[in-house]
Structure 1
Amino acid sequence: MTRRVLVYGVTGSGKSTAAARIAERTGLPLTLVDELTWLPGWVPLEVEAQRELFAEIVAGERWVLDSAYSHWIDLVLARTDLVVGLDYPRWLSLSRLVRRTVRRATDKRPVCNGNTESWRQLLSRDSIVGWHFQSFARKRARMRAWAGDPTKPEVLLFRRPRDLERWIATLG
């Protein structure tokens, strides 16, 4: 049985939702990465502290992570049994991201550690939508490279949400 699962994908692909569904179906403990890496006021936790924190988490025998940031992805991959790759088309992940960000900027629902999204952030140079454009090709290429590398953990690439949903339904 798979005990250590990394859900990986581009910004806006639905990693947190997928990870929560996998954890629910399997009973594996869920770690939402943004909850641990962003402090109040959108201040990032220092990189070394992130590495220490995630080294401790992935040392455990059972977990689901909803992402792995480049600062500590090496620690996660070394312990991962299965990568669930959300390899969706850009239009899908971008439309999900824009809808989610606009909704959060409007209703001010706390995202992580009391942080909220704002119209100012959405329109800024450092916006999450901008990050999507900066990181999309790199994250997609990374997932696909892992899938073709026998030295990496098993990778399931999902190109459509309905295929992911079918797979999740088989768990547990």
Structure 2
Amino acid sequence: MTAAPAQRVLFHGVTGSGKTSAAHAYSLVTGVPEFSADDDLGWLPGWEGRPVEDQYRIAATTAAQDRWVLDSAYSSWRDIVLRRALAKDSIIGWHFRTFTRKRQAIGTIRVDPSMPPVLSFRRPGDLDAWIAAGAHAPPTVGPALTE
């Protein structure tokens, strides 16, 4: 029996790392609805910042759904998404070793036995191969990256 793809997915990493492309590809392969941290939550047209209270409300509404893929999570509402994402069928995908603060946060989650496994992709091609295979099972990955 093949496991179903995760239904609440957060791609989290540094700016420009490919989170939006990865979230879009995952959504296309799995049919899980895609949401953009920038376009749907963080910004109004013309790159006018959306008030933080509105971002928080939209994030809560999005996270309350049973199925979603987010391409990032702003610190002002990340807690809402993580509480909902960190369930048995979730995945925190794609983090990069170039951004220390985010790597440390993910490292803390990784060692917490009450949290689900963290999937670490060393190269974009590893993520592409996992998605192309249907994103059904955790990939075979090496140990956590260290400095």
Are 1:150 and 2:113 counterparts?
yes
- Which residue identity is paired with 1:84? G
Name 1:164's counterpart in structure 2. 127
Name 2:21's counterpart in structure 1. 17
Alignment partner of 1:70: what SS? coil
Relative to its length, the structure with more helix (as a share) is: 1
Normalised by the size of structure 2, how large is the TM-score? 0.79
Cα deviation for residue 44 of structure 1 reads 1.2
Of 58, 76, 93, the match for 1:84:
93
Name 1:103's counterpart in structure 2. none
- Which residue identity is paired with 1:49? D
Structure label with greater radius of gyration: 1
Cα deviation for residue 23 of structure 1 reads 0.5
Structure 1 CA distance for aligned equivalents of residues 76 and 36 of structure 2: 16
Alignment partner of 2:65: what SS? coil
Structure 2 unaligned residues grouped into runs of 5+: 136-147
Cα deviation for residue 47 of structure 1 reads 0.9
Name 1:49's counterpart in structure 2. 54
Post-superposition Cα deviations, 1:60-81, rounded to whole Å, max 9, x if no partner, equal: 0001000011111111011111
Structure 1 CA distance for aligned equivalents of residues 70 and 113 of structure 2: 22
Structure 1 unaligned residues grouped into runs of 5+: 91-135
Matched-pair identity in %: 46
Contact 1:77 1:153 in 2 (8 A): no
Cα deviation for residue 164 of structure 1 reads 0.9
Name 1:5's counterpart in structure 2. 9
- The number of equivalent residue pairs is 126
Are 1:28 and 2:37 counterparts?
no
Runs of 4+ aligned residues of structure 1 deviating over 6 Å after TM superposition are none
